[in-house]
Amino acid sequence: MDVFTAISQRSSVRAYKDTDVEEDNLKKILEAARLSPSASNRQEWKFIVVKNKETKKKLANAAFGQSFIGEAPIVIVACATESKSIMACGQPAYTVDVSIACAFMILQAHELGLGTCWIGAFNEDEVKKILKVPEKVRVVAMTPLGYPDQPPSQKFRKSLDQIVCFEKYE
Ligand SMILES: Cc1cc2nc3c(=O)[nH]c(=O)nc-3n(C[C@H](O)[C@H](O)[C@H](O)COP(=O)(O)O)c2cc1C
């Protein structure tokens, strides 16, 4: 599968089969994160792989009851181990770095036939407590991971005309 096919086919998966994810596939997805770019190549990240049923349920509760999170065989929780670096453009590096790694994982998962759903709606303090994440570490995102138990959903996107301009902001 080429990159554009993965980008155009992928959609958020909110229902998962009760089928385990092969260790080789999981490893390839984590490798996609490891190989991602980061500001100054700092790689200040940690990815927590959660398979324990009870822990997954707790994470679903910490995500305001999004129960499908707990129903996937795996939940990956993406953390930034350093959050103080501000890039010259004024943006904090950590959300960008960890988000790129998550995007790469999500696309790799899709190529392997696996579903994901970016989860940004969660209580960070609760997630940190559940997973014993140190105080200074930030939780940026999490995603369930597993074989989809739903058909791909239709994409609703703005047109290129609406989001692209040339030479100056219009
Ligand atoms: C930063 C971010 C946070 C999101 N948080 C959630 C979430 O908490 N729960 C959820 O079900 N989907 C969440 N999503 C998924 C979006 O709703 C979804 O990507 C969007 O509607 C487009 O649909 P698609 O992913 O199927 O193309 C999030 C996506 C992003 C990028």
Where residue 49 falls among pLDDT bands split at 50, 70, 90?
very high
CA distance 72 to 64: 16
CA distance 145 to 118: 10
Q: Residue 18 has what pLDDT? A: 96
Where residue 21 falls among pLDDT bands split at 50, 70, 90?
very high
Asked whether 67 lines ligand 1 (CB < 6 A), one says no
Tokens standing for 150?
């739903």
Mean pLDDT of all residues belonging to the chain:
98
- For a ligand 1 pocket test, name from 9, 11, 119, 145 the mutation site with the most ligand atoms within 8 angstroms of its C-beta: 119
In angstroms, what is the span from residue 7 Cα to ligand 1's centroid?
A: 14
For 26, 38, 87, 92, 122, the CA distances from 29, given in Å and listed in that order, are: 5, 17, 27, 25, 23
In tens, the pLDDT along 55-104 reads: 999 999 999 999 999 999 999 999 999 999 999 999 999 999 999 999 99
Residues 41-54, mean pLDDT to the nearest whole number: 98
User: What's the distance, Cα to Cα, between the start and end of the chain in Å?
Assistant: 35
Residue 139, helix vs strand vs coil: strand
